[in-house]
Structure 1
Amino acid sequence: MKDDPRLADIIYPGTDGNVVLLGFPYDEGVARNGGRTGARSGPEKMRAWLRRFGTVFNPELGIDLSPLRITDAGDIDPGLPLEQAHAALTAKVKGILQAGGTPFVAGGGNDQSWPNAQALLDTHESCRVGAINVDAHLDVRPLIEGKAHSGSPFRLLLEDARFSGELFVEFATQGSQAAKEHVEYVRHRDGHIHWLSEIYMNEDALGWFSSALGRVAWDCDAVFVSFDLDSVRMADAPGVSAPSVMGLRGSEALEIARIAGQNPKVQLFDLSEYNPEIEEERTGRLAASMFYYFCLGVASRKEA
């Protein structure tokens, strides 16, 4: 309706937006890691839930999205072998970054986070890059027969000579999902782990995330925020490969997306593991809402 425009009404095809939606419809990396497949349909179903969702002017927050150019770059070709798809994703994200856009990459499996991070490192070769992984898991497992998978993206990032582990944060990690060896690996690489239990002990998930992002952003030139939907409790996000009764609340996930979008040093955001074959609507609405809230954050950015 003309008097009630929604987010989908102002999304245009292309790669020239201030925010650029890009799909990575792959879950082979999940299968390699022994997880349940189905996330390959995530980008398609997320876009379906975007239709008629999210007012262009949000009167509660006083944020107007209409000055923001939001575009949809489509999907990485779903017919490629996974390693070629990763290379294509890096190239696409790098092109968006170099054009001045902020990519929001919707997966697909969490293996997408390594090629996304590569694009940011390639774009800022002489700068310091930071990363925050919002995830129930650490995702620092070794490669399987030399191949990347959904459990390995941040091991690959931490082993990249261009990246400093002191600028890496694992956020909302669950002790029941993190092997002792992997915890030691992250700490050996100087990474930081914020456990879900300590976040909730202080009942301030958003304050903790804001502080973590602020510390990373202070010390670097560009930040990558990766959000795995299995960090959200299954009451709010049942449609993931590895749902958990514990986790962040859906409302916290939305605000984390907005806080990330609001920070001008956040130049890349990815969302992983939406699996419509397990559950479509509740998790799909959350994924679409996170894109909306990220855009609200970008629209309210101030200069760094």
Structure 2
Amino acid sequence: MERIPYIGRPGIVHTSGQGDPYVTRLSDWITEWDGAEALDAAVIGAPLSKSSISFSGAHMHPGVFRQLFSAFTTYNFEEDLDLRHMRVRDLGDIAMHVTDIPQCHTNIERAMAEVAKRLPTAVPCLIGGDHSITYPSVTGLRSVRRQRIGLIQFDAHLDVRDTAYGGRSNGTPVRSLVETEAVRGEDIVTIGLRSFANSKEYRTYAEQQGITLYTAKQVREQGIRTVLEEAMDRLASKVDAVYATFDIDVLDQSDVPGVPAIGPGGLSPIDLFYCAEALGAWDRVAAMDMVCVDPNRDTRDRTTRISMHVLLYFLTGLAKRLRTSE
């Protein structure tokens, strides 16, 4: 088996066992990649949280995420759709340096470039890690695809902090993409911004860069379908591909106790599941990630279970996309 550079084996590898022959669990389906099979989607862990502004154990998320593979089935009851026929495999975890954060980001960028080269038909699905992983993930993808890439971000925060104050962190991925010209400001949409979690100065910066901003209040008043349709329409005429990033702290604190930056007034899980499925179905979406889940602060894996559903709804949309293209 020829491994992809910068990516090691998954921290947890399930072995097929039997129970009920009429039930397919994720642990039976999302198995370790054999190094050769062409894929529809690739699960990749990015266990980095040293770059978080606030204390975070988000580096543990990929491991807990995989532990839950045995707790869920491949069948979407609402859609009467079984995902097991899709080619989805676990590539493993991107290697992280113990202390060197820039090296960690470099590893993510190079790993994503290698994935894009080796698996051109696969949609990479990154399991973070804190939000700093999004910047190198996008740049690695862009270095191979050579396309104009847009970003749809679900987040309570702008993530445009000045890198002069602390370097590249979980508060800087959007600013980093804009300042390095990897993504144009006008090609970025952020959905779910909350009050008392951002600053006026950074809002002004985002607006000056042409970033489209939707607050959690706008989502409540207009409805998530309307907001997402507007976002997709805005990008469809400009970009060749879209990267979707789901910061789980966009949700209300009552639903996600295991995020470092909890806050009231956030989106609902149903909002996020709808968006994940819609974006999975959109042929412009080339990659996605889910970030800022800290299992240390969670209760009964509630927050990781929500991030798992974000992935499964995204894959539901991707299954529909693939079915349409046949």
TM-score bracket, normalised by the shorter chain, equals: over 0.9
State the one-letter code of the partner of 1:293.
Answer: Y
**1:153-168 pair list within 5 angstroms:** 153-168=173-188
**1:16-165 pair list within 5 angstroms:** 16-30=38-52, 33=53, 35-54=54-73, 56-80=74-98, 81-98=100-117, 99-100=119-120, 101-125=122-146, 127-144=147-164, 147-165=167-185
C-alpha separation between the residues in 1 aligned to 2:212 and 2:279? Answer: 18
The aligned residue for residue 276 of structure 2 is 257
Please tell me whether the aligned partners of residues 20 and 70 of structure 1 are also in contact (alpha carbons under 8 angstroms).
yes
**1:153-302 pair list within 5 angstroms:** 153-202=173-222, 204-280=223-299, 281-301=301-321, 302=324
CA shift for structure 1 position 226: 0.7
C-alpha separation between the residues in 2 aligned to 1:162 and 1:255? Answer: 28
State the one-letter code of the partner of 2:87.
Answer: R
* Number of matched pairs: 298
Q: Closer, same or farther in 2 for the Cα pair 1:214/1:51, shift >3 Å?
A: farther
Runs of 4+ in 1 over 6 A off after TM superposition: none
Please tell me whether the aligned partners of residues 7 and 51 of structure 1 are also in contact (alpha carbons under 8 angstroms).
yes
Identical-residue share of aligned pairs (%): 26
Of 70-79 and 259-268, more deviation after overlay is shown by 70-79
CA shift for structure 1 position 144: 4.6
C-alpha separation between the residues in 2 aligned to 1:118 and 1:162? Answer: 6
CA shift for structure 1 position 71: 0.8
CA shift for structure 1 position 161: 2.5
* Residue 12 in structure 1 maps to residue 47 in structure 2: no
> Which structure 1 residue ranges, 5 or more long, are not aligned?
none
Q: After superposition, give the CA deviation of every residue in 1:87-111 in whole Å (9 maximum; x if it has no partner).
A: 1111112222232211111111100
2:137 aligned counterpart, secondary structure: helix
C-alpha separation between the residues in 2 aligned to 1:277 and 1:159? Answer: 33
Question: What is the TM-score normalised by the length of structure 2?
Answer: 0.86
C-alpha separation between the residues in 2 aligned to 1:206 and 1:94? Answer: 32
